[in-house]
Structure 1
Amino acid sequence: MRIDVLSLFPEMFSGVLGESIVKKAQEKEAVEIHTVNFREYSTNKHQNVDDYPYGGGAGMVLTPQPIFDAIEEVTKEAVKPRVVLMCPQGERYTQKKAEELAKEDHLIFICGHYEGYDERIREHLVTDEISIGDYVLTGGELGAMVVIDSVVRLLPEVLGNEDSAMKDSHSTGLLEHPHYTRPSDFRGMKVPDVLLSGDHKKIAEWRDKESIRRTFERRPDMLETHELTPVQQKWLAEIKAESNEKK
């Protein structure tokens, strides 16, 4: 995969792109990431990239020319990319969207600042508008970092264990079950006996049930759209009964 990030502050990405899983993914050549300061493409003698909005109003708006020229430059030899606009008006980002983007060969992220974008950027360049939450940030850089991290970790051979990404919270449609490691008894707090039993079938069942329990307790809305098996439905009924008893 190739990722190009258009930003007025490309240095913000150095820490994220140069550490941890994203760094290892680049070293394995699973992904190639470039940051582009689109100010360098401005034809204005002062290299301005923003201007006052027609019709008046507060703030400044990013002009189309630098962004159009920057994208044309990075796509000269590429197949048609997905162009992602980081924007609070975009669709709310989900794991499903991350899995969708991870199948692409080329992603371009546009990180804006100021009041907004000239609408022609949205209409003629952008394929996706993404928001990482219902709030407004100073710019699109932090959101782009979140999306890039979540996409890159899904690429083949990036994670040490391929099953890790498949069993993540949200990937299965449910939240992930609890995890435990050594020691089995820490200050009187013990690991559930089933995890020490060596019975893989029982362990799998425990994890499945605890995944449903955690989803019910923390994100019950996810259960409204998730299709449960008859066994899972039975577990959910038991979990609800236990919850009512505690009340």
Structure 2
Amino acid sequence: MSAAGPWTATVLTLFPEMFPGSLGHSLAGKALAAERVRIETIQIRDFATDRHASVDDSPFGGGAGLVMRPDVIDSALRSVVMSDRAKRSGVTEGSDRPILYLSPRGTPLTQARVIALAEGPGPILLCGRYEGVDQRVLDAWAMEEVSLGDYVLSGGEPAALVLLDACIRLLPGVMGNEDTTAEESFSHGLLEYPHYTRPADWAGREVPPVLLSGNHAEIARWRQAQAEAITRARRPDLMRAFEARSVPARK
């Protein structure tokens, strides 16, 4: 927890009841209960101005579906920024927190970006619905568009939960053993090596002998080789990047 308070994520959504959801359990749940983390939700519909509390409308140019209105989103975001200013005495402009829009067309979320978000004060997350959000409000707020992968969800809320889980587990004191994350997938640009535990012989399948040898140098070499082999087979893009970084610079 920083001097300014716990790491805080603010989620703008039409379904605030979806939070904390799975984050109310296990490590994230303990962090929430201990007030190491705070998850705030903003109901976007509260900022609608008509008697029907409309948050969307038909797209200009035609097409199926509805688009979330820029004026409603803008008002919701302004309420968050004004709250941030009030918490930071003497600050009269903006928010020090990144604003992310969960979108299938966004930049793929990486472990490096997760680490950066976890090291900051906490993000503001916009969860879209329907056909998405009017482009003008995304541009006006210079939002960072983030994607979990090449598929489409019914809304940004599940993606927000995943992003928050990835961040929260990295916060100081959440995992307990800080070494736990040191050798995970992506921590060094590779996918993680296989793990084994008791029994040493299960259903005719034995643990690789090197792991029982007690030779830590050999174990480290085996794990590195396994990580490289798995990455080469499953994520050749990561392997190419890893090999490029590993090539000594020419004089």
Aligned residue in 2 for 1:83: 99
Gaps of 5+ in 2: 1-6, 85-94
Aligned residue in 1 for 2:159: 143
Gaps of 5+ in 1: 231-247
- Give the secondary structure class of the aligned counterpart of 2:102: strand
Which of 19, 23, 29 is equivalent to 1:23?
29
Q: In 2, are the aligned partners of 1:7 and 1:37 still within 8 Å (CA)?
A: yes
Aligned residue in 2 for 1:5: 11
Which of 37, 53, 57 is equivalent to 1:51?
57
Query: In 1, Cα distance between the equivalents of 2:83 and 2:46?
Result: 20
After superposition, the C-alpha distances for 1:170-193 in whole angstroms (9 at most, x for unaligned) are 121011111011111223321122
- Give the secondary structure class of the aligned counterpart of 1:75: helix
Aligned residue in 2 for 1:241: none
Aligned residue in 2 for 1:69: 75
Alignment length (residue pairs): 230
Query: In 1, Cα distance between the equivalents of 2:143 and 2:50?
Result: 27
Which of 179, 182, 193 is equivalent to 1:163?
179
Query: In 1, Cα distance between the equivalents of 2:72 and 2:10?
Result: 15
Q: In 1, are the aligned partners of 2:67 and 2:131 still within 8 Å (CA)?
A: yes
Deviation at 1:81, TM superposition (A): 1.4
TM value normalised by structure 1: 0.86
TM value normalised by structure 2: 0.85
Aligned residue in 2 for 1:244: none
Instruction: Give runs of aligned pairs for residues 1-247 of structure 1, distance below 5 A.
Output: 1-78=7-84, 79-227=95-243
Q: Structure 1 counterpart of 2:232, which letter?
A: F
Query: In 1, Cα distance between the equivalents of 2:79 and 2:236?
Result: 46
Deviation at 1:229, TM superposition (A): 5.5
Q: In 1, are the aligned partners of 2:20 and 2:39 still within 8 Å (CA)?
A: no
Q: Structure 2 counterpart of 1:73, which letter?
A: S
- Give the secondary structure class of the aligned counterpart of 1:68: helix
Query: In 2, Cα distance between the equivalents of 1:184 and 1:169?
Result: 24
Query: In 1, Cα distance between the equivalents of 2:171 and 2:220?
Result: 26
Q: Structure 2 counterpart of 1:222, which letter?
A: L
Deviation at 1:107, TM superposition (A): 0.6
Query: In 2, Cα distance between the equivalents of 1:220 and 1:51?
Result: 43
Aligned residue in 2 for 1:237: none
Q: Structure 2 counterpart of 1:72, which letter?
A: R
Query: In 2, Cα distance between the equivalents of 1:213 and 1:55?
Result: 50
After superposition, the C-alpha distances for 1:85-113 in whole angstroms (9 at most, x for unaligned) are 01112111222221222222031111111
Query: In 2, Cα distance between the equivalents of 1:99 and 1:155?
Result: 9
**Deviates most, 111-120 or 9-18:** 9-18
Q: In 2, are the aligned partners of 1:85 and 1:126 still within 8 Å (CA)?
A: no
Query: In 2, Cα distance between the equivalents of 1:14 and 1:101?
Result: 18
Q: In 2, are the aligned partners of 1:84 and 1:126 still within 8 Å (CA)?
A: no
Q: In 2, are the aligned partners of 1:153 and 1:165 still within 8 Å (CA)?
A: no
After superposition, the C-alpha distances for 1:207-237 in whole angstroms (9 at most, x for unaligned) are 111111221222222211114758xxxxxxx
Query: In 1, Cα distance between the equivalents of 2:169 and 2:107?
Result: 21
**Deviates most, 107-116 or 21-30:** 21-30
Query: In 1, Cα distance between the equivalents of 2:171 and 2:179?
Result: 12
Query: In 2, Cα distance between the equivalents of 1:109 and 1:126?
Result: 13
